A and B are shown apart, each in its own frame.
Chain A
């Protein structure tokens, strides 16, 4: 048989191939190459040299010989009487095919397939190689029609898959997958035989890698519309036997297969078709009885998944059983995960039932199911002790959230009794519980576009409940009722105008009267949400009342009120201002609220209304909040760009100019804190996406600061000669500090907005930052400079930086210079601006900073500068300001510079070393944890040194860097254990509580080290930890308790 096949193969192949080359040429080449080929074959088969297979394949690829010649050369080996030799021969052919399957002609494929199919019947040592060859052949693009069927037939007939080794089984599955992809229609022609063959080959598979493949095939069978025939149950059995999957990957798992992956793959199979319903649903009910939590969870999630595929007829039979299991899981659960999965499954089931189209003769299964649920749950809502009210309510709400019909039925059944209950109860706690339940129902109902809200019938009684609860004195009740109100307001068409009006009145009253912090937070939140939906009611009712209370009572307070009264006055103002900010999102509201806030600022400036500094700052904060939350429309943009910013700039300028002449009333707008609070208002406004408006504001403010152009400011009564950026008399800081407002504007513009006169602006900023001696002025100038440099993409940048650097260097170099701090500040900010955008010049600047670490005067400042360099700054140079921030600049900086730091530390004189440690700890703290953990071992000696550094900041940041590393200790750490434990124990008596807490956390983490390494320290650590148990600070004590208990368990029976 074998001999015949080989010969027939040679003939057919030859006839096909002969025409492809001129005969003589082919003869010539054959003579030259056949000797090589025979040598290769001989060395592979007899010489057992595996590398020759690759050589043969390359030869074939290059065209040195053909597949026909290879078969001829192999001839004797393929027909040998020794199975080992035959195996070796087939192995060579298969491995060549694996690389060359793309080059085969259809004729060659036919012959090779016939050969391989026949070889499946041969000795078992040959089978693995035959399968490899078949796998390669199935990948051929020229696979002739009908071949897929014949391959599969012989595969299913001649091979018992589960007695093969792992790799061969995977090979079989891969053949199936390949054929299903390329020859789908042919396989479908096989009918149920294909499914049966698959079921037979998978039955008993144990390896997770192969299971993933098998699940993939099963899913394709189900989804691809293959005929399952009478083998539906078999296919289900062969896959469902793995459910629920319990798989824990081996330690240091090389294949990376997770339990999650397997679960999802299997779930896709099981829930793939409604045909499985009659088998799957009983299985789920059974597995829900399991004691293992993961099994329950998996079952519930599978149930949710299949409910999205099934229809009511599949579910109908099992509904009582499923409901009983779900109810039990929610009523008696010990885990929130199971509970929420159970509720999700219930929602999915209800949604499935609601989806089904009813036929005239069947009963409405949704109704039947909901009746079942209501029967079991409803009465718990009315029990006097309200014991099971929560689980019942959750179950009902889960049903109600599934569909409009379900909401309708559930609310109709539940609402009247809940409302009656609420009205008959008198205890606050019970009323609150009922109100919370009501809230859940209101939030869960589904709305539909055509129909009215299902709550429409109850809206009046719900509103009256809410309004009565809002007038109660109980904080909890008030808060819950506001949540209900918000939920009602979000349902379209539920609240009529008079309800909204009444609600706004109530909310306003609470803002004005309630002093409880939790209540006022809730009312602000609720008002914010409702104002979005019903702006008119807020404009007409709330805003005027709040405005009235802000301004009216400030008069009463003028005649010598007591301190406590003043305090409550301030709190009231604070609440009003916050509420005004919260309701401002709709443009029409913004136009009403912002004038009130501006009026507060103006009267604070003129001194007519006595508003404290804190109140002014709070108003600025609220303006910033409005700028951030209001809808990003042109209307809102105009309010801010055309009214608010000019007003703010005008107020600040007036204050700066007046301050020099008048003395009796000092305007709050010269205070640094107020100015700093105004900056974010301007920068938030400018960073929004109204480029045109932002560009105009930029133009105006630049011309104000450069040329003293005050034409756009309101109440135009300014002197004509204003030079804000020029250094003038000694008292000019009031004007020069206004540069921070310029910074807020120009540094946060979207990238496309042009900044006018930018060269001149940069020059003046540089001048100001290097000469001025007022900290806010020169720092803001430096920041403004940096913010511009960061976004500027022109060639002139380099020469500009070079010039600035020369100036800074000369200032820094002369020890007597009076502006060294100023030069350093500019250097630091520009370094940051360039570092985060990966500018090549940044290295020069950061190197300069490194060299300053050993400077006796600026060393400590420079060390702290690294914190600024590595952390996100809040006002400028962040993504919110559209700055150019590249990803992972911190990692890059760290890898490029850590060696410089270590080197600098080693060469620095003893008294300067601490600056290096501080810089290092700042850099490390800001690195992502993942990078820290990989980089730390190299820096360990330095870090141990840092632990004994007297600076508390260094100690603390070093400890907080070390702690995550200790959770997964590198071996380098274990060798240093003695030093580590000693240093940490000495730090638990540090005067700083943060250091004490951090060191206790580290000692806690040490308890997770390998037991034999740390046992020698146990007694010593336990003794040392007795002291912090009696620490003066509670937070320290609780860390000490955790750590000490963990160390006690060490090496103790039942411990670890």
Chain B
């Protein structure tokens, strides 16, 4: 951050973090089955924060992912996430998308089909990015590139409070 390079979006709007999910009595009850729901996916992406590559802030604080843009169908094994880059020409959009996708791949059971795309109308090269993120082979290839993997991992390195 302190280096000489200019940030693309030096002064982003910061949003209040929503509080942690409250535990209910059902959460403690052994016999109740908790389905995987929108909030849980949202928490995977936030409570164990993914950091924005540009800012030392989590994606939630930058409002990149909102809970209303997360859709889960536990029966049909699908997860859809739409994310909103901080500015329409953000060059980091692909990387943010990739990080979200990797985080979900690592955190969800294999049965789910994961679909990550940009919120319609919020990015200049929306289609290109969406296409890249949907292409299994390109994602796999990207993760074999150790430099790219390094950047993704840095976004996913959780801060100290998780332990």
Contacts and interface: CB of A to CB of B under 8 A. Distances in A.
Interface of A: 291-292, 332, 334, 967, 992-993, 1004-1005, 1008, 1026, 1029-1030, 1032-1035, 1037-1038, 1041-1042, 1044-1046, 1048-1049, 1052-1056
B9 interface: no
Nearest to B34: A1034
Secondary structure at the A interface, as helix, strand, loop or mixed, is: helix
B107 A1045 contact: yes
Interface residues of B, number: 38
B43 A1030 contact: no
Contact of B150 (A332, A1004, A1035, A1053): A1053
A1045 B106 contact: yes
Contacts of B33: 1032-1033
B149 A1054 contact: yes
B111 to A, nearest CB: 7
A1041 B109 contact: no
B74 to A, nearest CB: 10
Nearest to B47: A1038
A1052 B146 CA distance: 9
Nearest to B44: A1041
30 contacts: A334-B57, A993-B30, A1004-B163, A1005-B163, A1026-B109, A1029-B107, A1030-B109, A1033-B30, A1033-B33, A1034-B40, A1035-B23, A1037-B34, A1038-B40, A1041-B106, A1041-B107, A1042-B48, A1042-B158, A1044-B107, A1045-B103, A1045-B156, A1046-B162, A1049-B157, A1052-B149, A1052-B153, A1053-B147, A1053-B153, A1054-B149, A1054-B151, A1054-B152, A1055-B157
A1008 B27 contact: no
B154 interface: yes
A726 B134 CA distance: 81
Contacts of A332: 11
Nearest to A1055: B153
A696 B54 CA distance: 72
B25 to A, nearest CB: 12
Contacts of B23: 1035
Given A1029-B108, A1042-B162, A1045-B106, A334 B56 contact: yes
Interface string B131-163: 000000000000000110111111011100011
Contacts of A1045: 48, 103, 106-107, 156, 158
Contacts of A1048: 106
B158 A1054 contact: no
B156 A1049 contact: yes
A1026 B110 contact: yes
Contacts of A1004: 163
Nearest to A1028: B109
Contacts of A1029: 107-109
A1044 B30 CA distance: 23
A293 to B, nearest CB: 10
A1032 B40 CA distance: 13
Contacts, number: 78
A334 B153 contact: no
Nearest to A1034: B34
Nearest to B107: A1041
Contacts of B44: 1038, 1041
B43 A1038 contact: yes
Interface of B: 1-2, 11, 14, 23, 27-28, 30, 33-34, 36, 40, 43-44, 47-48, 56-57, 103, 106-111, 146-147, 149-154, 156-158, 162-163
Nearest to A1046: B158
B153 A1035 contact: no
A1053 B103 CA distance: 15
Nearest to A992: B30
Contacts of B108: 1029
B38 to A, nearest CB: 12
B154 to A, nearest CB: 5
A1044 B44 CA distance: 12
A1054 B57 contact: no
A1037 B43 CA distance: 11
Contacts of B47: 1038
Given A1041-B48, A1055-B153, A334 B14 contact: yes
A1033 B106 CA distance: 18
Contact of A1032 (B34, B57, B110): B34
Contacts of A1026: 109-110
A1008 B47 CA distance: 20
Closest 8 CB pairs of A and B: A1054-B150, A1054-B153, A1030-B109, A1053-B150, A1034-B34, A1041-B107, A291-B2, A1055-B153
A194 B109 CA distance: 74
Contacts of A1032: 33-34
**B14, B28, B106: which has the most chain A beta carbons within 10 Å?**
B106
Given A334-B14, A1042-B48, A1044-B106, 14 more contacts: A334-B56, A967-B163, A1005-B163, A1026-B110, A1029-B107, A1030-B111, A1034-B34, A1037-B34, A1038-B44, A1045-B48, A1045-B103, A1045-B106, A1046-B158, A1053-B149
A997 to B, nearest CB: 11
Nearest to A1056: B157
B48 to A, nearest CB: 6
Contacts of B153: 1049, 1052-1055
Contacts of B151: 1054
Contacts of A1030: 109, 111
B49 to A, nearest CB: 11
A1032 B32 CA distance: 8
A1037 B36 contact: yes
A1044 B149 CA distance: 17
**B44, B103, B107: which has the most chain A beta carbons within 10 Å?**
B107
Nearest to A332: B11
A1026 B29 CA distance: 23
Contacts of B156: 1045, 1049
Nearest to A1053: B150
Contacts of B11: 332
Contacts of B109: 1026, 1029-1030
A952 to B, nearest CB: 11
A55 to B, nearest CB: 55
A844 B36 CA distance: 55
A1030 B28 CA distance: 17
